[in-house]
Amino acid sequence: MKLLKIFLPILFLSTICAKAQNINWNSISSENKNLSTLDFGYDFGLTSQIGFYKLIPKTKPFYLGIDVSAPMGNVILDDFKLRINGLFKVYQINNYILSAKVSTNFKRHETEMVRMASFGSELSLKIGYYRPKWHVSTEFGHQKSISTHLKHSSKIRANYPDIKDGWYVPTGGNFHFGISGSKSINSTLALSFKTGIIMTELKDEKATIPMYGQLGLIKQF
């Protein structure tokens, strides 16, 4: 709840934010090479996310950025996800654009039973129809928790004293498939959304809530 109280005022007061993955490649301005993002939605919990991206001068548009997200709750910073992202346009035919996002992430999660710290990767592809003031797209991606460190509490050891702390590899993965889009509010500010379903790998049991959805703001500056 504390996080909500912190992030909601930022959400309403901010004029500089949006969903970086939801970049409208047809509205990029050469004068504004930075993006700020702010999102709120469901992504393995009710989460708030902020991010910053910088346009790297290359032949094709390429954004390098960082974002951090955290779920709601009474305890701040016990759970969060930090990502370093590369966003780039792969191919374009008229207004149809194929883009990709490659990320490496660090996730942390703590309960009364265990503290998890995980390094992982994400790859997603997006095909969309882009106009200067709006876009819609479909996206498909995969995230993998490559290596996760588990540190167990005395509470869980009371039940199983021989439980082993340490690095576990790999510990999980999910695919996601959905739609996304954006709509410009003015020349530098846009609203964005994304929603879709989450599927686990192979025969893995599905997620408790196998879906995601986010609303956000994006600001070029």
Residues that bind another protein (CB under 8 A): 1, 4, 44-46, 71-75, 79, 81, 107, 109, 111-114, 116, 118, 143, 145, 147-148, 150, 155-156, 158-160, 162-164, 166-169, 171-174, 200-205, 207-209
> How far is 101 from 113, CA to CA, in rounded Å?
34
> Which one, 70 or 190, has the nearer CB to another protein?
70
Write the single-letter amino acid at 51: G
Q: Of the two residues 94 and 159, which places its CB atom closer to another protein in the complex?
A: 159
Q: For residue 11, which of 30, 31, 28, 36 has the smallest C-alpha distance?
A: 36
116: enclosing H helix or E strand: strand 114-131
Between residues 69 and 220, which has the closer beta carbon with respect to another protein? 69
- Nearest to another protein of 24, 143 (CB atom): 143
State how far the Cα of 166 lies from the Cα of 151, in Å rounded to an integer.
7
**Min separation Cβ 168 and another protein, Å:** 5
Q: How far is the CB of 126 from another protein (least distance, A)?
A: 20
Smallest gap from residue 38 Cβ to another protein (A): 17
Please report which helix (H) or strand (E) contains residue 13, including its range.
helix 2-13
Distance (Å, rounded) from C-alpha 57 to C-alpha 35?
14
34 vs 110: CA distance, rounded Å = 33
Cβ proximity to another protein, 28 vs 207, nearer residue: 207
CA distances from 114 to 16, 78, 108, 155 (A): 37, 11, 11, 9
How open is the CA angle 171-173-176, to the nearest 5 degrees?
165
CB of 122 to another protein, least distance (A): 10
The CB-of-70 to another protein minimum distance in angstroms stands at 9
Q: How far is the CB of 148 from another protein (least distance, A)?
A: 6
Which C-beta is closer to another protein: that of 65 or that of 120? 120
